[in-house]
Amino acid sequence: IQWFPGHMAKARRQVTEKLKLVDIIFELVDARIPYSSRNPMIDDIIQHKPRLVLLNKADMADKAVTKEWVRYFEAKGVKSLAINSHKGIGMKEIVTASEEVLKEKLDRLKAKGVKPRAIRAMIVGIPNVGKSTLINRLAKKNIAKTGNMPGVTKAQQWIKVGKELELLDTPGILWPKFEDQEVGLKLALTGAIKDTLLNLHDISIYGLRFLEKEYPERLKERYNLDAIHEEVVETFDEIGKRRGCLMGGGEVDYDKVSELIVREMRSEQFGSLSLERPADLLLKEQEETVE
């Protein structure tokens, strides 16, 4: 998707319209980049609607860091949960956590003697965070199919998730953050945006620097490196020679090395990686306050 102001306004309108239909928003983010994969205007768009942050693709993230993120959101008064939509891990917990978020409201109804209906929810998130995968997981065989004729506006369909939850069948797709170069690089490294939007060398250098700093042993092991070099180009040279990323004349082909690093980071060849920690964000928030 190419996001232009008109598309953003439309996306925002679509989410805003559906807000009225639901009790709770499931904000889906990528557990490897819970800050960078959030929509920049999410708070403004969903206002005070109760929400549950779902840290999806938790299988690809560093477990210890994911725990830090859960605590980070908790400190902000936002309930969050690590899930793996691909394998269906954490699905029951989504229902329990939703009830927890809405506890006061549900208790009030019960006190009045009203039996609460199923909780109604909608998923929102930026492209590629796993919205469809999660919907399909939760739906199992419970999608209420109705006629879907071209030209006829499809009524909202609800997917029943057990007795306790009903989910809108179409997610709200919101745009990612663009303004920050580092955010863009992280989005590209996790495959959330196409490489063509950014320079592949920039993405791979960012990835390499990250591995050098956070996971040097995994990097050395993967490419049989003698050491972590001061200069990125030295590391590129070494990887190129070890992996045969060479040009006709035998010199190292940096394009190929870049592609290799990015591809291997995305496909978990370095194990589970978290590209950002709450501490980085707190630092950023402090800097912004100082400015």
Q: How far is the CB of 89 from ligand GTP (least distance, A)?
A: 8
Type and span of the H or E element at 218: helix 216-223
> Should residue 25 be labelled a site residue for ligand GTP when binding is judged by CB under 6 A?
no
Count of C-beta atoms within a 10 Å radius of residue 166: 23
Contact between 79 and 53 under an 8 Å Cβ cutoff? The reply is: yes
Q: From its phi and psi, is residue 90 left (phi > 0), alpha (psi between -120 and 50) or beta?
A: left
Q: How far is the CB of 60 from ligand GTP (least distance, A)?
A: 5
Report which DSSP code applies to 246. Answer: B
Which one of residues 22, 97, 119, 129 is an interface residue with ligand GTP (CB under 6 A)?
A: 129
Gap between the Cα atoms of 284 and 291, Å rounded = 11
Which one of residues 173, 183, 185, 261 is an interface residue with ligand GTP (CB under 6 A)?
A: 173
Count of C-beta atoms within a 10 Å radius of residue 4: 10
Contact between 81 and 97 under an 8 Å Cβ cutoff? The reply is: yes
Taking the least distance from each CB to ligand GTP, the nearer of 59 and 164 is 59
Taking the least distance from each CB to ligand GTP, the nearer of 125 and 240 is 125
| CA 24-29-35 angle, 5° bins | 115
Which region, judged by CB under 6 A, interacts with ligand GTP, from 42-50, 52-60, 148-156, 247-255?
52-60
> Should residue 59 be labelled a site residue for ligand GTP when binding is judged by CB under 6 A?
yes
> Should residue 60 be labelled a site residue for ligand GTP when binding is judged by CB under 6 A?
yes
Contact between 86 and 112 under an 8 Å Cβ cutoff? The reply is: no
Q: How far is the CB of 229 from ligand GTP (least distance, A)?
A: 31
Taking the least distance from each CB to ligand GTP, the nearer of 66 and 133 is 133
Which amino acid type is present at position 105? K
Q: What is the DSSP string of 19-53?
A: HTT-SEEEEEEETT-TTTTS-TTHHHHHTT--EEE
Which one of residues 37, 80, 98, 133 is an interface residue with ligand GTP (CB under 6 A)?
A: 133
Which one of residues 38, 57, 186, 277 is an interface residue with ligand GTP (CB under 6 A)?
A: 57
Q: How far is the CB of 191 from ligand GTP (least distance, A)?
A: 8
> Should residue 50 be labelled a site residue for ligand GTP when binding is judged by CB under 6 A?
no
Burial class (CB in 10 A: 0-12, 13-18, 19+), 174: buried
> Should residue 130 be labelled a site residue for ligand GTP when binding is judged by CB under 6 A?
yes
> Should residue 131 be labelled a site residue for ligand GTP when binding is judged by CB under 6 A?
yes
Which region, judged by CB under 6 A, interacts with ligand GTP, from 79-87, 179-187, 194-202, 212-220?
79-87
> Site residues (CB under 6 A) for ligand GTP?
56-57, 59-60, 84-86, 125, 127-133, 173
